[in-house]
Structure 1
Amino acid sequence: MPPSFDQVVTTLRSAGCVFAEDEAALILSTARTPAELTAMVDRRADGLPLEHVLGWAEFSGLRIAVDPGVFVPRRRTEFLVRQALALSRPTPVVVDLCCGSGAVGVALAAALPGAELHAADIDPAAVRCAVRNVGGVGTVHEGDLFGPLPPVLRGRVGLLAANVPYVPTDEVGLLPPEARVHEPLVALDGGGDGLDILRRVGAEAPDWLAPGGSLLVETSERQADRAVEAFTNAGLTARLAVSEDLHAHVVIGTRR
């Protein structure tokens, strides 16, 4: 006999899940068999991220497939998507760097009919997952930052979203186990001050952006001023957008 809703809630709460009722409802609605339900509850109680247990995450109103070992798209990153859409032109070329599951690119493409979408990530597992999500709406490339992108995109990108890793190396060990244990280090570790990848993206972005095109990168509150400075040093017109509700900070750099 499969566990009841109350039994699932009790198991999850005992494992430290703060939103046990909500998680129980999602697990029960996703499991297809009693055996799968039991296995899903056990995996979540063992600390596997809920999205990896379910196999998907909700992001910008879409259901995004998330495979085990792939970075889970955060709700706060929806703010980056909204900022990008506020800047968009009709049928732009959209690039999603450090794409992970491809959530940002898919959300942008869904809101911009006719957009040309390219997504890229250095992690093969992320690329496989992104291919599932991007599907027929765009192309996924495997490689380091701009390296695998088609050269024909140079000077044509209207929206360049890069959800780069920005956790300082010395602070990765302080992350919650769900991230530290179950998500790839390459998606978390941003180098000594957390801004190594951001600086690399900012430095190369002007060669890829169309005139008036914009680069958008998420960062933390305490890194925001240095991130804006990095974009300015790269020759971009930079500003910071903040969502207090989502605790999100997005640096926006526009090619003059």
Structure 2
Amino acid sequence: MTEVPARDGAPPRVGLFVTCLVDLFRPTVGFSALKLLEDAGCVVEVPQAQTCCGQPAYNSGDRADTVAIARNVVEAFEGVDYVVAPSGSCAGMIRKHYPDLLADDPRWAARAGDLAGRTHELISFLADVMGVRRVDAPGFDRTVTYHDSCSGLRELGVKAQPRALLKSVEGVRLKELPGAETCCGFGGTFCVKYPEISNRMVADKAQAIADTGADALLAGDLGCLMNMAGKLKRLESEVEVRHVAEVLAGLTDGPAIGVGEPR
């Protein structure tokens, strides 16, 4: 049984940062995160006041709006022990960039730093904070390959954790993806600013995925997954695309990412 980190002897209270993309396009990822956190012994709250993490505005140079969004997130998640997001990109924004954004404002600097220290990406939180070594999933009989999303990998050190937990899911056979640490070309607003470069990057990634012969592609960031799923679909690939949380939680009965959506 997992030894649950607790404050005052109580189970940890976790604020689930759902993320915009999960909320709008793939709620199953949010339900999967909720299940995994509760199975690990956490009491999960989903603050209704949460919005975007501010990364699109931040990447576009709109510092004023980013600061306003950051303050809203700080206020929304005060009072919980941890903040957990099923996205290395959003967790990285809060953990790595909020302290700098609010550093010049004494009223907010300490609060931003406190929030940053309590914020984690979902899979690393389960493995590194909660000590989860196995998950209770019904099985996923696929040969899978895994893409390491840029922010999760480079800002938060998410690499071994998802692979370790996938080993506990019956039927999963992991085939490593050549260039797994290479960007898929999404990069938030990067794919809008530089569409030709982005398209070439995701085309190379899709070819590498196909070359593995895997049945399914997994990753921890929905933006990356939607980008790669779209390219694979246009190439008429049969590779099944899912967020790793869905597989770890056993919520894989529904359609894969990109299935049923227009080309």
- With the shorter chain as reference, the TM-score category is 0.3 to 0.5
How high is the TM-score relative to the length of structure 1? 0.35
Larger RCO (alpha carbons 8 Å, 6+ apart): 2
How high is the TM-score relative to the length of structure 2? 0.34
Bigger radius of gyration among the two: 1
Q: By percentage of residues, which structure has more strand?
A: 1
